Structure 1
Amino acid sequence: MSKEIPGFYYDKEKNRYFPIKGPIPGSKSIRMASSASSSANPTPPASVSTVADRYSNSSSVSKLVQARELDGNTLHLRTDRRPRCAFEAEILSNLVSRPQVWKFEDIDSNAECSLEIIPINMTTPKGVTRVHVMLAGSVHGLMSSFVIGKAGEHLTYGQKCVPSLVLPGNENNNKSDKPPAQLWRLPETCVKLPSYVSCIKSPGKPYPVRGAFGYTANYTMITTLGSGSSGGSVYVLDSTRPFDSHSQGSYLQRIIYLASLGCTIWTADCSSVDTRAVVGTNRGAALVDLRNGNVSWILRTGSDVLALQFDQSGNGLLCGLRNGVILNVDIREGHGASSMRLRNNLIPCSSPSLNVGSSSRRFFKIHGNIYSSCTVYMPKSVSSLLSLQLYDQYFLASSMDGCIKLFDQRLVGRGPVQSYEGNLNTHLRLQLGVDPLEKFVVSGGDDYSLRIWCITSGKLLFENKLFSSPPLTTRTQTAEGSIEMLDEGQTYIDYLRKQGDCWGSWHGSRLGLFYTQWC
């Protein structure tokens, strides 16, 4: 007979001891010792139901709190992908799966092309105050500006935009509920630019720094697509001077013409470390100095550049092309150089990992300083690129077939880190958005639906047909009116947590502007 050892039981078939412990999370039963050994050894504890068995069908926060009290800091879930999930993450996932959606019906056709939220200084009866202003552009070249939050009440000539409730956040909501975000149209509502407003970008830092009076976006870049008779142009909106809340003049009168490229401008991005910006065109990508308008080409290609994204250092650039290729461009050597001095490269049009012969694989020429080993291939034309700020090597990419993927720039040869299934798109340049803590990714679809996924697990958390036309633009923000300063020694993540877990996203379409409160 085997010797009894406290805390262990003996398996006669395997001729070895096994520790006595509870069931593995997600399992239905545990292996029991043989009848012969069980009579001579302490009986292992009987199988008990896990927290997941009792709470897997529950979506209420109160029951999740009970689960935490019963099971410590984690919640056991019966899922194939992630058997253990942090309690806080599960709470947030439940919150974002029940959003509140509002529609601003009096902003039709003014925000379907581009949206940007910038902080500016505005004079009020209480002095100079930093407020959030949303800039919106349309296919007709119209530019509009709106103050977000209660600060709009100080506008003498401002017009309040009244929203209507589209989707209740819970069963207790009714149409008398107050909207989570207030929107005030600035005086002299629109400014007309020569053509389609293709992009609005601000080179803002991710958070304000204590010690100075609040960060403002000194230069906001605006680009137009161009028309048959002329190419696209680059403009800047000067925000160095405070805007007077008693002024009857338009804030958009500060738009200044900067440069014209003589080609179609599809997209743009601004560096967060200096005054440079980059534009994506039908001929390639070019750097633009926002101080003097100097233009220098950093990439020449026969495929249109539809999406751009600076890295955090400002020395690298992701370029998404119409043929589905994503290039990683080093702009340090190319800065100030002409296209004749750029290096020639031969890049396959499709992924080299595809099972096709070298003779049948098509190649295309590009001129630029690229990292060929970091080239990424999407199934269709690239519609959106978005670098994660908290994890600087990761970026999200979407294509015009509805494909959304997460990549690690250090391991692009191994394919995407995560994929997000369920989105529908056939031909639109739909924009992605992420929450301030970069836990969730948001996208619209050409089926008029809005969807949100967990970035880490890829799980689809929300899907609903909310719109009457595809939501083409997306911008996310923290809680409404959030202008807290960064305390000394406080990290960026701590700063975001101080803003609260509440965050929202703005979605522009041809038939209106929508605001979604995700908690």
Structure 2
Amino acid sequence: MPRELPGFYWDAERNRYFPISSKPKPKIDTGLANSERPVRPLPATSSDDSDRSSKRRRRSTHYHVTESVRSSTRGIDKERGAQCVNSDIAMNSYTERAYQHNVPNFLTVEKSHQTTSIDGRILSFLGDSRGWLYSFSADEGRDALGFYSTQGWTPEFNLPSTISSISISGSRCAATSFGPNCKILLQALDTSNVHVIKPGDHLVHDIWTSSLRGSELVLGANKQAVVFKGIDDPSNMRFLKTHSDVFAVQQEENLVYTGSRNGAISRFDLRIDTPKGQNLLDDVFLSPTNSITNLRIVREWQLLVGNIDGSLGTYDLRYSRGRTPLMTFAGNVNSWTIATALDVDPAEEFIFASAQDSRIRAWSLRTGELIHPSLSSTTSTSAGPSSPSSPINWITNPFETAFTSPVQALQVAEEKEGMCLWATSGQHLYKYHLGQRIVF
């Protein structure tokens, strides 16, 4: 007998757990056989009426589930509704609402991407391999219909080497460039204020990644992490020595976590005036070396770690020692590239990751199970060029698609119409409305 899990019930027929809120109600025996029930004649309908009725039936989408959750005023209803939405994403990754956006980047490659919402408008930023930072702005209603266009993307700045990362926190945006003469662009999204920091190659070079939290910016750079305590005062820098290139950084209150090329994961307490950090997980990835490519803090006390060999796992941050993961996520394919993307949905229920095989995969953070492609489509599709901003009917499931180039940036965002997955591949930006179908 499967054990009971709070908030879930076991379905023996389908051999898995489901949220209790989605448990079907027991059938009530009314004492009447079907043949004994009175049948009312249906009025005759025209073909137009039938067509309208069919379209109304198609409106049972993930978007409408999300809207009902958002409009709920009771906390318990929101919690149960969120479980239903998450289950809906897992069971309905197939979507008819997918868009490919071409950017006028002169055949360069998109390296980083971030999207946010400010005052009812969607703001998107893209960075490419030639140092160009592009932006696109649209109101939420317009974005919901997928009305992006090639002409809508504006080249804002050139840094001028590869844009290695873009970070957004609130109304602030930070973009970094790679190389010996790296630069940091800081932009206030609610105003027109923009300034560029040139730290100098004797202080900082080879910026691999960044993390912006409020006004505090942390950079992963050559053999160190660099902390700007307040980006309004760029001279207030602090250097955290790691003795190995930092590929991943995360912030949590007064703590900074770093993941390095040599496999070390370190934690620095910014309240302590020392450049030396605390090594975590008994240095399990140091020998043999298994570089850290991604770090994410989930559920406040778990550290999600991505390695260059493709492995993914969560670890308990409440204990500095111990090398056994709480949960592992199998199926990711990687062996050499550090340009892998990883994100977690806002509800912290699912992990989305890309790797060198040019595919996107997702796992449940509750069970560790890989979310398999929907049975609604039986063959893998290939993502290639199409008309700008057109619905890409031949890419219906992000977990089935073999992209033409590795996916180097991923973002899962909660937007007005529900959960969206953004991905960059080659010279294209893709947007998937997870679990949604086209509604007329």
User: What TM-score, normalized by structure 2, do the two folds share?
Assistant: 0.68
* Residue 151 (structure 1) shift: 5.6
Corresponding residue for 2:123? 133
Match of 1:506 among 406, 414, 422: 422
- Distance in structure 2 (CA, Å) of the matches to 1:438 and 1:107: 34
Equivalent AA in structure 1 for residue 178 of structure 2: L
Map of 1:115 onto structure 2? 113
1:223 counterpart residue number? 176
Moved more, 426-435 or 181-190: 181-190
Moved more, 91-100 or 378-387: 91-100
Residue 315 of structure 2 aligns to a residue whose secondary structure is strand
Structure 2: which amino acid aligns with 1:104?
H
Q: % of aligned pairs identical? A: 21
Aligned position for 2:162: 196
Letter in structure 1 aligned against 2:206: T
Q: Which residue of the other structure, out of 123, 148, 166, is the alignment partner of 1:183?
A: 148
Q: Determine if the alignment matches structure 1 residue 52 to structure 2 residue 8.
A: no
| Amino acid aligned to 1:316 | L
2:356 aligned partner? 446
Q: Is the contact made by 2:264 and 2:279 (CA closer than 8 Å) also made in structure 1? A: no
Query: Structure 1's 233 and 91: CA in aligned 2 closer, same or farther, altered over 3 A?
Result: closer
Q: Which has the larger radius of gyration?
A: 1
1:104 counterpart = 2:11: no
- Please list, as runs of the form range in 1=range in 2, the aligned pairs for 1:249-264 lying within 5 A after superposition: 254-262=193-201, 263-264=205-206
Deviation at 1:301, TM superposition (A): 3.0
Q: Once the 2 structures are TM-superposed, how far is the Cα of residue 112 of structure 1 from its aligned partner?
A: 2.4
1:303 aligns with 2:210: no
Structure 1 unaligned segments of length 5 or more: list them. 1-23, 27-49, 73-85, 121-128, 154-178, 205-216, 243-253, 335-341, 343-367, 483-499
Question: Could you tell me which residue of structure 2 aligns to residue 265 of structure 1?
Answer: 207
CA distance in 2, matches of 1:71, 1:405: 42
Residue 276 of structure 2 corresponds to which residue in structure 1?
A: 369
Q: Please give the secondary structure, in 2, of the residue aligned with 1:460.
A: coil
Secondary structure at the aligned position of 1:459 is classed as: coil
Q: 1:183 to 1:271 in 2, by over 3 A?
A: same
Note the C-alpha offset of 1:518.
Answer: 1.6
2:96 & 2:129 partners in 1: Cα distance? 29
Secondary structure of 1:472's partner?
Answer: strand
Q: Describe the superposition over 1:19-52 as per-residue Cα deviations: whole angstroms up to 9, x where unpaired.
A: xxxxx359xxxxxxxxxxxxxxxxxxxxxxx953
Judge conservation of contact 2:127–2:163 (CA < 8 Å) in 1: yes
What is the count of residue pairs matched by the alignment? 335
Unaligned segments of structure 2, at least 5 residues:
4-9, 29-82, 373-398, 436-440
Matched, 1:433 2:389: no
Distance 1:187 1:93 in 2: 32
CA separation of 1:458 and 1:187: change in aligned 2, threshold 3 A = closer
Cα distance change, pair 118–259 in 1 and its aligned pair in 2 (3 A): farther
> Cα–Cα, structure 1 residues 444 and 101, in superposed 2: closer, same or farther, change >3 Å?
farther
- Which of 1 and 2 has higher RCO (CA within 8 Å, sep 6+)? 2
Partner of 1:232: 182
TM-superposed CA distance for 1:330, in Å, is 1.2
Whole-Å Cα distance in 2 between the matches of residues 300 and 25 of structure 1?
Answer: 49
Q: CA deviation at 1:234?
A: 1.6
Distance 1:130 1:180, change over 3 A: closer
Task: Provide the secondary structure at the position in 2 that maps to 1:504.
Answer: strand
Q: Distance in 2 between matches of 1:146 and 1:97?
A: 27
Separation (CA, whole Å) in 2 of partners of 1:190 and 1:87: 40
CA deviations over 1:36-90 (Å, ceiling 9, x no partner) = xxxxxxxxxxxxxx9533x459x9xxxx97x622499xxxxxxxxxxxxx87754
TM-score by length of 1: 0.58
Match of 1:34 in 2: none
Q: 1:89 to 1:105 in 2, by over 3 A?
A: closer
Cα displacement string for residues 234-273 of structure 1 (whole angstroms, at most 9, x for unaligned residues) = 221132427xxxxxxxxxxx5411232412111111123x
Judged with a 3 Å threshold, the aligned counterparts in structure 2 of structure 1 residues 89 and 290 are, in CA distance, closer, same or farther, namely: closer
| Residues 88 and 241 of structure 1, relative CA distance in 2, 3 Å threshold | closer
